[in-house]
Structure 1
Amino acid sequence: MDATLGEVLGVLDRLYDPAWAESWDAVGLVTGDPGQPVRKVLFAVDPMRVVVDEAIDGGFDLLVTHHPLLLRGVNSVATTTPKGRAIHDLIRGGVALQVCHTNADNANPGVSDALAAALELKDTRPLKAMPSEPMDKVVVYVPVNETQEMIDALAAAGAGQFGDYDRAAWTFTGEGTFRPLERANPTVGEVGTVERVVEDRVEMVLPRRRRRAVIEALKAAHSCEEPAFDIFELAALPSNRGGGRIGVLEEALPLKEFAELVAERLPRTEHGVRVSGDPERLIESVAVVGGAGDSEFERVRAAGVDAYVTADLRHHPATEARAYDEGPALVDVAHWASEWPWLKDAERLVTDGLAARGFAVDTQVSTICTDAWTLRL
């Protein structure tokens, strides 16, 4: 059964949520109709002219790229500019274009996971961890005979989910006391009389986005006219998503051999692999950032790793980073090469995600090198 573009985008957005993109980025659908059928998908790093032609000539319905075609605002997409021509040709060719940029950088698995896996790094964790989803904790006091029904109601509204577990709650039995006033309509007790009731304190966590639904479910399920409850905003904790990855090699290698491993595992470019450091220095712990990474030197140095693999290292940031005696060795690769391994991951995850929904698509990873540098003398 053919998938629609909307269904493919649903899988992509679950893998690479647009909300994870940096504020300056431009991700999402550039061309295409969510209702159009998608039978063939091409994955590429850059929406360059040669890649656009590959997609059109190959009869692909969707082109998924890492880099945006329109990163900054434009006033025109006339064919008088290269980007305008690309937009027109994509539309005429019926090719949708979807961009997964920093949302894919910050995903898990994402761009740097694929780079780390290509270099056989183990026990990886984010270099720049994003905060986990904002969470609340609801505390409600209910008569003991209503406890399980209340837990069921809160769970149905989205509370009490922990990884592969749901309906997770903590309870403690105590005594509640109150006195209904003149205009009250108490479920238990009488107006003007102090009441003492055995109650359970029920605690459950919930995503903050589900707060309204959980409170509404709590009030609907509670037998009391004025249920007693609290909502606590929990501290944000680091998640397993974010930019870059830190990991370790199975076995320590001299820097020269490690750099040779990098060159062997990444696609060849004219840029090649540049190295800064003692060739005999043993490398065991490694930080990686797919794409331009010299803005992360401070984090990398604080992590205490032996080497840092990234792209687009500039002279001054690199020399400043190397000025620290305990600083990492630097391995600089081509921007395109550092991000290309992600394409295979994205292809596999999208194919699996669609198959789980009963859809089959033909996919292909572009092998056209779109690195800017074409000759090294």
Structure 2
Amino acid sequence: MKTVNGQEVIQVFEAWSPKKLACMDNDPIGLAIGTLNKPVSKVLVTLDVNEAVANEAIEKGCELIIAHHPPIFRRLANIRTDHPAGRLYEKLIKHDIAVYAAHTNLDVAEGGVNDLLADALQLKNRSILEETYAENLLKLAVFIPTANAQALREALAKAGAGRIGDYEACSYTTTGEGRFRALAGANPFVGSVGELHVEEEVKVEVVFPESIKGRVLKAMLTSHPYEEPAYDVIRLEQQTNVMGLGRVGYLTKDMTLQQFAEFVKQQLDVPAVRVVGDLQSKVSKVALVGGDGNKYIYAAKRAGADVFLTGDMYFHTAQDAQAIDLQIVDPGHHVEKVMIAGVAKKMAELCEDKKYLVEFIQSTIHTEPFLFI
């Protein structure tokens, strides 16, 4: 096992939940407090960062906190240590505890907050509620001697090209002839300087997301025997890596709205929920958005959901939902606490794969401010 620094831990995290997935303007994600350029052996995973959580990190010897809700959400005018927020920042800095926030990028990520909520509700046949991210799909067509084609295909696949859905190492090959004349100063792999050469070649075609273009081209150039390979990079109409906010899925069995509300209380560990709709109506298809999903009621309706589960439902938004015959179950914002166990487990697995010697600790501090009486 290898000891690691904070930067290495966060590189693992961002490979799973990259910043580019954030879907809120000026979302204050990333390193909020401290430095990642230090050894890290214990990481505390929490929904929120308050003074009790800071004390927990100190007591448990954690050098890094990964939080869902950013501890600094708006631009600071001052940091006064006679105010609660200032005391919190002072304590974290004095004890050299770094804080990293993953907000809407963790909502969108596969296996992130919304998937964890869908897991808790055992939803099947899932889809995205609102698309917020997609990558352009590119196609590489490269011409290479037949004898070298397999090595090229393997290098491209290793670089991540040729991934289509649940299939990898996908490529298409056509045969043909390549013609060229090497000029003075060239060092041709085949043929001679000044002579027109005809070579039996193949065209290998692969698709890949634009985000890995540099890696794919490097793999192609490194594995190609020619000093000046002939190749095309073509932008396609299709997109890939489509991701988004919220999830839509089906319950394992139909139930009434009242039964669903009770099921939510049980599965998400909340004492009460707010409900809009007919308690005896049937619920089969569920749309959900962790946290505040008020602006997604129409997306939920378009998705054909029988009920929309989200927190912080406003009075007038609830009336709008009534008007479009969309039922609501509001378990509160704090149900996003599912990310504590989910992130700790995921990161432990990812770091174990890399043989990193780091422990992920689930915060036990209850940060829900509301009491249900």
Q: Is TM-score (shorter-chain normalized) higher than 0.5?
A: yes
Q: Which moved more, 1:68-77 or 1:29-38?
A: 29-38
Q: Which residue of 2 aligns with 1:142?
A: 144
Q: Give the C-alpha shift of residue 116 in structure 1.
A: 1.5
Report what 1:248 is aligned to: 250
Structure 2 distance, partners of 1:224, 1:347, is: 47
Asked whether 1:8 is paired with 2:5, we answer no
* Contact 2:28 2:72 survives alignment (8 Å): yes
Which residue number in structure 2 is paired with residue 329 of structure 1?
327
Confirm or deny that 1:81 pairs with 2:83.
yes
Note the residue ranges of structure 1 that are not aligned, 5 or more in a row.
none
Q: Deviations for 1:233-265, whole angstroms, at most 9, x for unmatched residues?
A: 133536463211111111100111111111222
SS of the equivalent of 1:288 reads strand
CA distance in 2, matches of 1:112, 1:212: 31
Report what 2:18 is aligned to. 17
Instruction: Return the TM-score normalized by structure 1.
Output: 0.84
User: 1:1-377 counterparts in 2 under 5 A?
Assistant: 3-22=4-23, 23-155=25-157, 158-161=160-163, 167-175=169-177, 180=181, 188=191, 198-215=200-217, 218=220, 227-237=229-239, 239=241, 241-268=243-270, 272-324=272-324, 327-336=325-334, 338-356=335-353, 357-361=355-359, 363-371=361-369, 373-374=370-371
Match for 1:11: what amino acid?
V
The range that moved more, 205-214 or 286-295, is: 205-214
**SS at structure 2 position matched to 1:340:** helix
After alignment, is 86-95 or 295-304 more displaced?
Answer: 86-95
**Could you tell which deviates more after superposition, 108-117 or 80-89?**
80-89
State the TM-score, normalized to the length of structure 2: 0.85
- CA distance in structure 2 between the aligned counterparts of 1:58 and 1:216, rounded to whole angstroms: 44
Q: Which amino acid aligns with 1:328?
A: L
Q: Deviations over 1:257-296 (max 9, x none)?
A: 1111112222335xx3111111110001101111000111
Q: Which moved more, 1:234-243 or 1:181-190?
A: 181-190
Distance between the aligned counterparts of 2:162 and 2:285, measured in 1?
Answer: 37
Distance 2:145 2:202 in 1: 6
Supply the AA of the counterpart residue of 2:95.
G
SS at match of 2:237: coil
TM-fit CA distance, 1:314 = 1.1
Separation in 2, partners of 1:157, 1:60: 35
RMSD: 3.1
Tell me if the contact between 2:80 and 2:87 (Cα under 8 Å) persists in the aligned partners: yes
Shift of 1:361: 1.8
Judged with a 3 Å threshold, the aligned counterparts in structure 2 of structure 1 residues 182 and 344 are, in CA distance, closer, same or farther, namely closer
Listed as ranges, the gaps of 5+ residues in structure 2 are none
Secondary structure of the structure 2 residue equivalent to 1:286: strand
Letter in 1 for 2:17: Y
Cα deviation, residue 298, structure 1: 1.8
Give the count of matched residue pairs: 368
Call closer, same or farther: CA 1:287–1:106 in 2, change over 3 Å. Answer: same
Q: Is the 8 A contact 2:48 2:367 kept in 1?
A: no
> Aligned to 1:103, what secondary structure does the other structure show?
helix
Equivalent residues of 2:57, 2:65 under 8 A apart: yes
1:179-204 per-position Cα deviation (integer Å, ceiling 9, x unaligned): x59989685489697x7654322111
**Retained in 1: the 8 A contact 2:137–2:235?**
yes
Match for 1:308: what amino acid?
A: F
The answer to whether the 8 Å contact 2:156/2:216 transfers is yes
- Residue 235 of structure 1: SS of its match in structure 2? strand
Q: Retained in 2: the 8 A contact 1:133–1:236?
A: no
SS in 2 for 1:262: helix
Instruction: Describe the shift of the 1:43–1:142 C-alpha distance in structure 2 as closer, same or farther (beyond 3 A).
Output: closer
Q: Counterparts of 2:254 and 2:166 in 1: how far apart (Å)? A: 36
Q: Deviations over 1:105-150 (max 9, x none)?
A: 0111011111122222222222123444433211123343443344
| CA deviation profile, 1:306-332 (whole Å, cap 9, x unmatched) | 1110011112222122212xx331111
Residues 270 and 331, structure 2, Cα contact 8 Å, conserved in 1: no
In structure 2, the residue corresponding to 1:19 is in which secondary structure? Answer: helix
CA distance in 1, matches of 2:360, 2:220: 47
Amino acid at match of 2:331: V
Change (3 A) 1:240 1:88: same
Shift of 1:226: 5.6
